[in-house]
């Protein structure tokens, strides 16, 4: 790459980063991220939908024609899946019965479950371990701390990347309270529950009947949050239908929609700043485009000044769910006495309002957060482990070798923050990471609690 090319790329990144940060300032709520299969293909080499069905056809001896035979006859891949699901049912109830668990042969099990089970097992075989070259990119994605993630992917990569986020299946978004946060909406189902997977044409027909209700829930997202699409093609049917429903509800006006960004790999020599997404056959909408081979700087830009970096999303969900129930249900039903004078006095400022929820101390503890920025899962990941167990094992090793339990007190390695009267969060410092690295690598180490 020439110096001129390098300079052009750097200029593009700077301009796009400034645009993202500016949008975040105009739309101060946390971003909503839509994730398509392209991100799983990038991170874990997951199969395309075509190759997934090709694999399924090869696996089933009841099917004696290649996938090209079916694609010549059918409108699309959902229709292909519909046809081969019948062959899978026949195989499961015959020579292939040993391939499927006994529970799938009980009464009221849908006929397409055998295809979905086989495909779910195949996808699980790709795991959730992100390729080493994309580890930093995945960490940057997590740094966005999105308000919510909406995905059509079946795999569990996002749950691993965003620990503490709650997966919600199918149309769970429709019944969720408006104040949702820290959740992954798997609107096409998950490999953990094969029956939930939207795969066949019948599944898509049922999903389409509910899609408008789903879109109605998304309206507030599109109005108030920065929106990032990643892992989708511009012509993706799922995106087009969502935008079509949004246009029908609010009539998307001309010009560029300022808070929607569409992230893809480059499609030409000069990266684009805008793209046109088709709403219908005769109408398109203009959105911000980001074209780059390196997604890390984009995710970091969206994570700029993320306010939730040290807050457990599970705590936020519980807080919002309880306050939502309080306002919508408990108080109107007079299930208990309410001190309205106390509430009135406490909502004059943000600091006072926080104390209503028992979190008034969170505002001034930025020093604590800076000193103890990691939970144990994050410590484990910085040490190269997939979960918190590796870090915990090293802490126990220190206790056995030095007779010092760094978790037993607040010290330079470990600090405790109270979330509620009954709940505490254990947080860890950079010094703790360095100590555990020494233990992991088998080099000499000393433990100094103060």
Strand 424-428 and strand 414-418: pairing?
A: antiparallel
Query: Do residues 56 and 104 both lie within one domain?
Result: yes
Say if 309 falls within a structural domain.
no
**Is 308 a domain residue?**
no
Q: Is the confidence at residue 173, as pLDDT, over 70? A: no
pLDDT tens digit sequence for 387-431:
888 999 999 999 999 999 999 889 999 988 764 445 467 889 999
Domain residues for the domain of 111 are 49-124
Do 22 and 69 fall into the same domain?
A: no
Q: Average model confidence (pLDDT) for the chain?
A: 83
End-to-end CA distance of the chain: 51
Asked whether residue 63 carries a pLDDT value surpassing 80, the answer given is yes
In a domain, 448, yes or no: no
Q: What is the pLDDT of residue 150?
A: 93
Q: Which pLDDT tens digit goes with each residue over 352-392?
A: 555 555 544 443 444 666 788 888 888 998 999 988 889 99
Looking at residue 370, what is its pLDDT? 72
Q: pLDDT (tens digit, 9 = 90+) per residue, 97-115? A: 999 999 999 888 999 999 9
Is the pLDDT at 232 greater than 50? The verdict is yes
CATH number at residue 158: 3.40.50.1220
The per-residue pLDDT for 170 is: 66
Same domain, 205 and 336: no
Query: Do 120 and 172 share a structural domain?
Result: no
Residues 332 and 362 in one domain: yes
| Domain limit, last residue, from 89, 124, 159 | 124
56 plus 42 within the same structural domain: no
Residue 59 sits in the same domain as residue 97: yes
Between 245 and 13, name the one with better pLDDT. Answer: 13
- Burial bucket for residue 55 (CB in 10 Å: 0-12, 13-18, 19+): middle
One domain, residues 29 and 133: yes
Q: Model's pTM, two decimal places? A: 0.70
* Residue that is last in its domain, among 106, 124, 142: 124
pLDDT category of residue 37 using cuts at 50, 70 and 90: very high
Same domain, 180 and 238: yes
Strands 32-35 and 148-151, by their bridges, are: parallel
Based on the fold, state whether residues 150 and 218 are members of the same structural domain: yes
Structural domain contains residue 167: yes
pLDDT in tens, 314-362: 555 555 555 555 555 555 555 555 555 555 555 555 555 555 555 444 4
Instruction: Establish if 329 belongs to a structural domain.
Output: yes
* 339 shares its domain with 211: no
In a domain, 307, yes or no: no
Question: Is residue 356 one of the residues assigned to a domain?
Answer: yes
Res. 214 pLDDT band, cuts 50 70 90: confident
Q: Which of 108, 124, 140 is the last residue of a domain?
A: 124
* Residue 120 within any structural domain of the chain: yes
The number of folded domains in the chain is 3
Judgement on whether residues 385 and 333 belong to the same structural domain of the protein: yes
């Amino acid at each position: 790459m020439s110096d001129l090319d390098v300079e052009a790329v750097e200029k593009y990144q700077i301009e796009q980063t400034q645009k993202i940060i500016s949008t975040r300032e105009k739309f101060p709520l946390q971003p909503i991220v839509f994730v398509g299969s392209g991100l799983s293909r990038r991170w874990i080499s997951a199969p395309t939908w075509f190759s997934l069905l090709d694999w399924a056809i090869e696996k089933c001896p009841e099917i004696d024609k290649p996938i090209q035979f079916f694609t010549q006859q059918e409108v699309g891949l959902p229709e292909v899946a519909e046809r081969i699901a019948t062959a899978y049912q026949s195989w499961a109830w015959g020579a292939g019965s040993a391939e499927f668990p006994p529970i799938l042969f009980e009464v009221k099990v849908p006929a397409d479950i055998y295809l979905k089970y086989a495909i779910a097992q195949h996808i699980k075989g790709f795991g959730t371990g992100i390729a080493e070259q994309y580890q930093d990119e995945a960490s940057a994605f997590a740094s966005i701390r999105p308000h919510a993630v909406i995905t059509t992917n079946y795999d569990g990569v996002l749950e691993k990347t965003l620990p503490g986020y709650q997966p919600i299946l199918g149309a769970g978004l429709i019944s969720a309270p408006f104040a949702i946060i820290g959740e992954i909406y798997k609107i096409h189902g998950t490999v953990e529950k094969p029956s939930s997977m939207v795969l066949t044409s019948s599944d898509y027909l049922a999903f389409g009947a509910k899609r408008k209700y789903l879109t109605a829930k998304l309206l507030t997202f599109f109005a108030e949050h920065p929106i990032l699409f990643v892992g989708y093609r511009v012509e993706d049917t799922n995106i087009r239908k969502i935008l079509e429903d949004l246009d029908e509800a609010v009539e998307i006006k001309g010009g560029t929609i300022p808070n929607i960004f569409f992230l893809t790999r480059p499609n030409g020599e000069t990266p684009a700043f805008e793209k046109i997404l088709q709403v219908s056959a005769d109408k398109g909408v203009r959105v911000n485009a980001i074209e780059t081979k390196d997604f890390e700087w984009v995710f970091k830009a969206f994570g700029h000044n993320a306010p939730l970096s040290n807050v457990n999303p599970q705590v936020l969900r519980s807080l919002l769910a309880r306050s939502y129930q309080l306002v919508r249900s408990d108080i109107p039903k007079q299930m208990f006495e309410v001190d309205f004078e106390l509430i009135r006095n406490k909502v004059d400022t943000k600091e006072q309002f926080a104390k209503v929820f028992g979190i008034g101390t969170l505002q001034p503890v930025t020093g604590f957060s800076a000193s103890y920025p990691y939970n144990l899962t994050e410590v484990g990941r910085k040490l190269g482990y997939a979960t918190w167990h590796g870090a915990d094992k090293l802490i126990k090793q220190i206790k056995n070798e030095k007779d010092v339990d760094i978790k037993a007190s607040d010290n330079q390695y470990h600090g405790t923050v109270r979330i509620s009267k009954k709940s505490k969060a254990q947080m860890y410092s950079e010094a703790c990471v360095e100590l555990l690295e020494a233990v992991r690598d088998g080099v000499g180490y000393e433990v100094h609690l103060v």
